Amino acid sequence: MPKLRTLRLHSNNLHCDCHLSWLSDWLRARRGLAPFTQCMAPAHMRGLNVPDVQKKDFVCNGPAQTESRTCVPQVAVCPASCSCNNNIVDCRRKGLTEIPGNLPEGIVEIRLEQNLIKSVPAGAFSAYKKLKRIDLSKNQISDIAADAFNGLRSLTSLVLYGNKITELPKGLFDGLVSLQLLLLNANKINCLRVNTFQDLQNLNLLSLYDNKLQTISKGLFAPLRSIKTLHLAQNPFMCDCHLKWLADYLFDNPIETSGARCSHPRRLANKRISQVKGKKFRCTGQEDYRSRLSGECFQDLVCPEKCRCEGTVVDCSNLKLTRIPPHIPEHTTDLRLNDNEIAILEATGTFKKLPNLKKINLSNNKLRDIREGVFDGAGGVLELLLTGNKLTGLQGRMFRGLGGLKTLMLRSNQISCIDNSTFTGLSSVRLLSLYDNRISSIAPGAFSTLHSLSTINLLSNPYMCDCHLAWLGQWLKKTRVVSGNPRCQKPAFLKEIPIQDVATPDFTCD
């Protein structure tokens, strides 16, 4: 290599014995070519620059060391804890945490079931071109590299059931043209890319039983020209317009033998997919969005941790949450956060990412403060439930961003007063409940911005019917808004008298 300009040899375990003296001479003649090339052994020479070591110092002790060193390729062996017979490697129930390497190249079967393996790395089996069967069932696999099975054109059986797989990476089964059996049951797979099985034209049996699939993209099974048996049961299928194709496919190809059924919507729950009539598969609301993207495995389709997702409903209730969980799916229309321990709502921009949201339930938390800007981006929300919290006051900009709101439930809080800016911007609200609070006074004009109001519940509050509340008596007499006929609690001579029945002169201040 006469044109060589740079050579990096540093950070290697160079043993400076008689076999390496040539390198010292060679580097001295080419000063600067390989800087920082240092001896690592023997101990007394450790750290010395190889070109600076004198030839007489490169010595070998004894005949064993004097023999020429050669690079011997690593010999393929059977793993110590496994058994290898007839080109079958049997490593079942050995407590393995990773796939063993350096196996005999001629193996045709490897059994790794019932171990503790968590991942399948890139090219894990690529060296074993004669493999016909791989069994990785009943491990703890959650991560598989896209090229884990690359080059296995002879593989006929791949067993992956009983793991923790949530997603199959793009191209995972590409090139497995001989595969006949694929068992993916008892995992947590929540979506399948439409081209997942594109090379599996010889597949006879496919099991997706007991996963988390809510929908399947049209065309997923089209490449499976040899398929004889399909297992799809025990998946929470959303039988909307996007799953109609599957009913048609199963009717024309009666190969699904596990009895796959609809889970949602409720009207079709527990119905066998193959027996549901085509007109029953309908999309309502934003279900269309979720199902339409299923073939791409967008992260948006994944349910937040510990929450329950059905269609476009994300139910995170009763989880002892102290904040709104991150990464709520964009398709969400109904967000249930009730019965948690959320005390403060921070302006994190959560609702800017949820353009399809229609309902927010935050009832029965520990809310004492809602920061300005929390609801920015929530212009499409129609219903906000804040019942059963610890709100004491309602600041003027607390509800900013809720321009489309029609129902606002604030019952059973600790609100003591309402000022005339509290409901600014809520011109679409039709139903407002302030039932069971601690309201003693309401500022004049507090409801003037609620142009669409038809019902307001003001009952079960300790109203002080003094001069400051006289306007409310007049308003209740004139308005067509249904109010429930709230009553005075103070002063004593007006106790339990309906506010609208109190004569104007009796609203006095001492």
CA dihedral 219, 225, 228, 229 (to 10 degrees): -30
- Please give the pLDDT value at position 412: 98
- Please give the pLDDT value at position 26: 82
Model confidence pLDDT, tens digit, residues 200-210? 999 999 999 99
Residues of the chain with pLDDT under 50: 64, 72-73, 286, 299
- Please give the pLDDT value at position 64: 44
- Please give the pLDDT value at position 296: 60
Model confidence pLDDT, tens digit, residues 392-435? 988 778 899 999 999 999 999 999 989 888 899 999 999 999 99
Tell me how far apart the terminal alpha carbons of the chain are, to the nearest angstrom: 106
CATH 3.30.870.10 fits 303-461, yes or no: no
- Please give the pLDDT value at position 234: 96
Beta bridge partners of 133: 109, 157
- Cβ neighbours for 279, distance < 8 A, ≥ 6 positions apart: none
From the list 396, 389, 443, the residue with the least C-alpha distance to 414 is 389
CATH 3.30.110.40 fits 1-63, yes or no: no
From the list 499, 486, 405, 400, the residue with the least C-alpha distance to 451 is 405
The boundaries of every CATH 3.80.10.10 domain in the chain are: 1-63, 303-461
Question: Do the beta carbons of residue 440 and residue 416 sit within 8 Å?
Answer: yes
- Please give the pLDDT value at position 281: 84
Two structure tokens written together for 497: 């008298």
Model pTM score = 0.54
Distance CA 185, CA 388 (A): 43
- Please give the pLDDT value at position 72: 45
110-139 residues labelled b (16+ CB within 10 A) or e (exposed)? bbbbbbebebbeeebbeebeebbbbbbbbb
- Please give the pLDDT value at position 37: 84
